[in-house]
Structure 1
Amino acid sequence: MLSKIKKYFNTEIVKIYDNSMYHKNNNSKKHLTILIVSNAFVQKSILNRHRQVYQALSKEINNTIYALSIHTYTFHEWKKNNIINIKKNICKFM
């Protein structure tokens, strides 16, 4: 999935956090948090950025992903805000 995202968004800055261990679910699908930094997001709303991610990962979302938290930034936003990591989403309904 990592290489697919890197290729689709033409970037090397992608982080995927698997939060499945923090969630109770009875299936094998994953709870993921994804961070993507790409100029493909320039002048795009957050909604359209997320649509792009859902389009890129449509197969995985239908088959292996149960929950997905998406963080998208342009390179300018990334540098300006000095973003290193993102907080993992821990389910409060564990």
Structure 2
Amino acid sequence: MVIYQIIEQKLRQAFTPTFLQVTNESYKHNVAEGSESHFNVTVVSSLFAEQRLLQRHRAVNTVLAEELAQHIHALAIHTYTPQEWSEQQAEQVPASPNCYGGGK
């Protein structure tokens, strides 16, 4: 199973999201073609209600701890409750900044 699929599966199991988007952004960076090292995730879950942003990000990091330790170099995390997402949706998922690490 590729890293992308593992990330998606783990986030679905942990948060039962109403919306989940996992984007492999490795192509934007100075890495080998086909790499899976830079990801952007958006998770919308009612489980995030009553949680501060830091708690949400820690929860995602905990779920993906093995992948972060072994495979993922960069992970952009966007977490929302369903209500926040409906308010945010007009603006879409925040884009990751361009890579300044050379090559791209």
CA RMSD, aligned part only? 1.7
Deviations 1:41-77 (A, max 9, x none): 1111111110000001011111110111100000000
Higher fraction of strand: 1
Give the length in aligned residue pairs: 93
Higher fraction of helix: 2
Residues 17, 88 of structure 1: 8 Å contact kept: no
Match among 15, 40, 43 for residue 21 of structure 2: 15
Unaligned runs of 5+ in 1: none
Superposition TM-score, scaled by structure 2 size:
0.79
Residue in structure 2 matched with residue 90 of structure 1 by the alignment: 98
SS of the equivalent of 1:53 reads helix
Residue correspondence of structure 1 range 46-85 to structure 2 within 5 A = 46-82=53-89, 83-85=91-93
Superposition TM-score, scaled by structure 1 size:
0.86
Unaligned runs of 5+ in 2: 1-6
Runs (4 or more) in structure 1 with deviation over 3 Å come to: none
Match among 43, 50, 53 for residue 43 of structure 1: 50
